[in-house]
Structure 1
Amino acid sequence: MSRPTPRLARLAAWIAIPAALVASGLVVSQASYSAFSSTTANPTSNWTAGSVALTDDDGGTTADGSTGAAMFQATNLKPGSTGSKCIAVTSTGSLASAVKLYSSSYSTTKALGDNITLNITQGTGGGFGSCTGYTPAQGAAGAVYSGTVAGLSTAATNYGNGVGTWATVGGTTPEVRTYQVTYTVNAAATNAQQGGTAAIALTWEAQNS
């Protein structure tokens, strides 16, 4: 087979250049055409956490109610002494929750805490200033704790072992539960308890369910 002459080779090269330019022009031309399109979208999503919130009517302003008034400042007690007070706890949380009662800051001298019994019930009506109108819930629903001050200090020390059966439903309407606390000094307390002291703090805590 004969080889092309230099003249034919140059001619073929000149022919190839315009052909390449035409081909590239076709590619650019085709790429510049508009394309039909369509979309659909979902509006911006938002997330907001719910809440659990408790207050009581003892005038407290801190989480543990330490600036409020104590339920009892009982002095000059003797065997058989007794007293009763109420406190209303309000839930304003948006989430359903379980509310438990537990104790803290327990102290005693001369074993007085072992000789004072507490009977705590829950119900409706009344409040911190007065138990007038208080009605305990029926049966087990009304029972919260019955035992000594010393016993409460070890039996209910945090939410996990707290006492009470109040289940809030949550929402925008406040829910109120009244607790009545009654103390009684052991009628069989001895001279060993004279001048003794006992102290305990009560905390209500809600956790969403």
Structure 2
Amino acid sequence: MARPWLNVLAQVLPVPLGLLFSGVLVWGATNADWSDTSSNSGNTWTSGSLGLANDSTVPMFRVDNMRPGDTGANCIRIKSNAGFPTALKLYGNSPNWPSNFQSFINLHIEVGSGGASGNCKGFTAHRTAFNGTLDEFMALYTDYRTGLGPWTLAGKPLSSLGFRVAWKFSPSAPNGSQSVATNEAAFTWEAREQG
């Protein structure tokens, strides 16, 4: 049984298919622009670090049986291995401050190079950072914002600053300052990224 519509379909269908196919070829030919690419691979980001240490594991001062006029000094070296320059500051911290006794202990703090914890041999002072009483130091310089400095530490390769802290028990300390102890005093060095 013959199907006449198949003949008609066979004669009509090639024309639209041919037009469609030729349109695709023309479209492809008109979009055949020159092209090239260049890439830069291997990009990574690593955050820096800020490390600060000192060369002492014991207190700089543990003075007993002071008498008016007694003096002493100690050095400490602060080291930075930050991957960028930092601004270093020094401040004090002590619980239950103040007490009247500290006003009779004079402090002279110098910043420089050389020296090490427990040994000021080779220390060279660059400038005076503080000259006053222990009481004034603890009251005025209480955090990074109010601290002494800033001093620049370059960071890696390891850079450091030396500090010499000298004290003197006032010759005019009254009798009421006998058998009295200060509250514990902490000297804190803090470094922040230089901005």
Q: TM-score, normalised by structure 1?
A: 0.77
Structure 2 residue corresponding to 1:195, chosen from 179, 184, 190: 179
- Tell me which stretches of 4 or more aligned residues in structure 1 moved more than 4 Å: 12-17, 28-36, 106-110
Q: Is the 8 A contact 2:88 2:191 kept in 1?
A: yes
Alignment-derived partner of residue 88 in structure 1: 77
CA positional deviation for 1:90: 1.4
Alignment-derived partner of residue 38 in structure 1: 36
1:148 partnered with 2:144: no
- Is the alpha carbon distance of 1:135 and 1:107 closer, same or farther for their aligned partners in structure 2, counting shifts above 3 Å? farther
Q: Is the 8 A contact 1:110 1:193 kept in 2?
A: no
Structure 2 residue corresponding to 1:72, chosen from 28, 36, 61: 61
Structure 1 gaps of 5+ residues are 1-11, 59-67
Structure 2 residue corresponding to 1:21, chosen from 17, 20, 29: 17
Distance 1:126 1:29 in 2: 83
1:177 partnered with 2:161: yes
CA positional deviation for 1:44: 3.2
RMSD (Å) for aligned C-alpha atoms: 2.7
CA positional deviation for 1:109: 7.8
Alignment-derived partner of residue 110 in structure 2: 121
CA positional deviation for 1:82: 1.4
Structure 2 gaps of 5+ residues are 1-7
Distance 1:108 1:29 in 2: 89
Q: TM-score, normalised by structure 2?
A: 0.82
- Percent identity (aligned): 30
